[in-house]
Structure 1
């Protein structure tokens, strides 16, 4: 735990991180219960958006993970700023090799911690046996994608970073479309027939999430690096283009988002938007929406100064890894909520009880996060 929170980053980053994490920790359960209690079209639609697409296609829930990874990328230029200032350089490429080695060690340590925490979330400490342990994880992918995006950011200029981004997406597309899979051939983008699934079955140890493939598998982590790089590009743009007015910055971000969404839609015809495979079209499409979400939070919070409304999101965003791990099973929030509010909830109409139960769980989670925030305790990975 760390007793200090970084102050040199955008407040909107923590708010956006908290917004997407809210739906994972308990927000989805509130909306599903609300859609059953009040089955009006808007609630039913919102509830439907809080499920993953079965295969091809996209829902809001499919965007949560890449937005979180995108935000990690936006943070990168800000997190390295202090080191660059101390070294008296303007770009990370100019950092002395001794300083870079320190950064590499720190990055590798962070990645290893995230990999281990991912194993824990997957049940490593249940000791079910090597073959029953799932080694791929959300936290592991965040760590790996952030690490390799960081290596690219530290060692290449912006033009070369853009070439890396393009090369990753194009290379992944060509590999998935043209490298044949035994018994299936090339370009079969199904769970069993995709190159991504084949590589998982061949090289990923332990248990796969979906038997024949893993949505956080080995090969599909490569395009996730491009998702992190998109965040790096945005963070770099905000930091280095101080001669741009706020209005011009917003215009550039919105234009970039529209272009990326357009590329994703067009590419979808040949390489379907698919979160499970983390396709190149998925990276572009969700990358565009990630920029739009960030633009809204950046405008309202950082530019216009309206941030009081976002305080609950800041509580979540400032301890997002901790609440993710806790909500994934390490802490029984439902038991605590039932102990505190179960008696009261029993007196509410039966149809509303699941709604109030879900709200009580969120309240308990926010109480924990508020306590940690007031104590200045943050899980810093």
Structure 2
């Protein structure tokens, strides 16, 4: 998931590539508005937001490619929150901040709406292309997808939904006058009260469906070619209401009814749970007594959970509003850190009191609060280090990634570059350059697959693409949606 800029001014010899700004909204031309006495405006990039975006993209690459060997950083099999579970809400938070900053600069409402709709369409297109199943890179040198089994949802599709809803709402309610709110804590909440009404409405709809829907028994046919149950029809017994366990929650039920079970993600993290395998949290052979749902599909970016995910973007928009309206660093940081800490504490309390568990796949309220609070504190820390203490040079690799996030997302996180490299092999498809580098330069040197893979991802993927993004930045080339 990545972001970039909008409306960058380039010199004539610079090149701007119009492309998916899916990940880029998260980073629109992130600029801070400063008022001048003559009512003229001057814009300045908020470098900390670029760096935060770059960190999030780097984390995505790390957990996707090293999570298999290091499950502690991969997605939690069900309840809980590992490092990988912070990536999606961090992206949505960044999208929210960027919405607040970017849409203020588009004077005409109709023009802003057109931009939002067009960008949403591009996000959906790239999401289907990259995660719908068309490309099987880098491990399988095949492409194409059976339309009977295409995956409709994914990372960019979720970003598209949150972006569309929140951006259109921001456009329709952007009549607030720019005023100094440095010492008025609740004034900014009152100024944007309708945003919180939207957030409350989203939360009510989500909770009502999650706890009020009766989930009936359901069945499915196993399509996994590696399973000994291939072609068999299995039944999952539910007939319950308000359950948050893997087989019988309303999130999965809504997706099965609306999307169709064949259009859902075929390799959910729950397959690594203790109920399914003795190797948990690693992947491994299923237990002999594993329940039927262990081999069933589940959509982690589904419909109901994506509705809840809108809350992460609304919170991000609020932090962008603080950046616009509060003019001094101390007021901004005080507001951000207090609100971030409150969200974090509230979410942790919900989880450990067993009221609402932390669960990324269901996108529960506790998960929204914990991840939004963490995003707020990380952003605040970067703001202090970069925009106040001027230590920007320490984070240049992350800033370069953040300024060209779509490039790194497509090439690294979506495995397009690795798939291209793997297409050139010697003797057999497993003898590729990527495999050779992993084995001989990293794994054999450290005599450890775990350490070797971790170092490969850090240096041969994240650092490599940071350098490439830095070169593109130097040349004025940015991949935008």
TM-score (norm 1): 0.84
1:356–1:224 distance in 2 versus 1, CA, 3 Å:
closer
Q: Distance in 2 between matches of 1:349 and 1:148?
A: 48
Q: Distance in 1 between matches of 2:30 and 2:212?
A: 47
Question: What residue number does 1:41 align with?
Answer: none
SS in structure 2 at match of 1:116:
helix
SS in structure 2 at match of 1:53:
coil
- Select between 227-236 and 366-375 the one with higher mean Cα deviation: 366-375
The answer to whether the 8 A contact 2:63-2:74 is kept is no
1:23 aligns with 2:59: yes
1:236 aligns with 2:259: no
Aligned ranges 1:109-128 → 2 under 5 Å: 109-122=118-131, 123-124=133-134, 126-128=143-145
Question: What residue number does 1:96 align with?
Answer: none
Q: Distance in 2 between matches of 1:19 and 1:78?
A: 20
SS in structure 1 at match of 2:240:
coil
Q: 1:325 aligns with which of 402, 410, 414?
A: 410
Aligned ranges 1:333-348 → 2 under 5 Å: 348=445
Q: Distance in 1 between matches of 2:66 and 2:216?
A: 44
Q: 2:465 aligns with which of 362, 365, 379?
A: 365
Q: 2:172 aligns with which of 147, 155, 158?
A: 155
The answer to whether the 8 A contact 2:438-2:453 is kept is no
Question: What residue number does 2:259 align with?
Answer: 204
SS in structure 2 at match of 1:154:
helix
Question: What residue number does 2:206 align with?
Answer: 172
Q: Distance in 1 between matches of 2:96 and 2:317?
A: 5
1:237–1:379 distance in 2 versus 1, CA, 3 Å:
same
Q: Distance in 2 between matches of 1:32 and 1:179?
A: 35
1:180–1:78 distance in 2 versus 1, CA, 3 Å:
same
Cα shift at 1:72: 0.9
Question: What residue number does 2:16 align with?
Answer: 2
Q: Distance in 1 between matches of 2:102 and 2:205?
A: 29
SS in structure 2 at match of 1:284:
helix
Cα shift at 1:306: 0.8
Cα shift at 1:367: 3.3
The answer to whether the 8 A contact 2:112-2:171 is kept is no
CA RMSD, aligned part only? 2.7
1:374–1:277 distance in 2 versus 1, CA, 3 Å:
same
Cα shift at 1:340: 7.7
Question: What residue number does 1:14 align with?
Answer: 50
Question: What residue number does 1:278 align with?
Answer: 363
The answer to whether the 8 A contact 1:337-1:357 is kept is no
1:261 aligns with 2:295: no
- Select between 205-214 and 258-267 the one with higher mean Cα deviation: 205-214
Question: What residue number does 2:34 align with?
Answer: none
- Select between 183-192 and 52-61 the one with higher mean Cα deviation: 183-192
- Select between 115-124 and 13-22 the one with higher mean Cα deviation: 115-124
Question: What residue number does 1:251 align with?
Answer: 334
1:163–1:212 distance in 2 versus 1, CA, 3 Å:
same
- Select between 210-219 and 61-70 the one with higher mean Cα deviation: 210-219
Question: What residue number does 2:378 align with?
Answer: 293
Question: What residue number does 1:80 align with?
Answer: 103
> Between Structure 1 and Structure 2, which shows a larger proportion of strand residues?
2
SS in structure 2 at match of 1:361:
helix
Q: 1:67 aligns with which of 90, 97, 104?
A: 90
Aligned residues: 352
SS in structure 2 at match of 1:379:
strand
1:220–1:345 distance in 2 versus 1, CA, 3 Å:
closer
The answer to whether the 8 A contact 1:220-1:278 is kept is yes
1:224 aligns with 2:233: no
The answer to whether the 8 A contact 2:30-2:101 is kept is no
1:339–1:188 distance in 2 versus 1, CA, 3 Å:
closer
Q: Distance in 2 between matches of 1:107 and 1:151?
A: 7
Q: 2:159 aligns with which of 132, 142, 160?
A: 142
Cα shift at 1:341: 9.1
Q: Distance in 2 between matches of 1:220 and 1:51?
A: 19
Cα shift at 1:154: 1.9
Cα shift at 1:129: 1.0
Cα shift at 1:201: 0.5
CA-to-partner distance for each residue in 1:178-229, whole Å, 9 max, x for gaps?
A: 2222242220112321111111001115521144430101111111111101
1:214 aligns with 2:299: yes
> Between Structure 1 and Structure 2, which shows a larger proportion of helix residues?
1
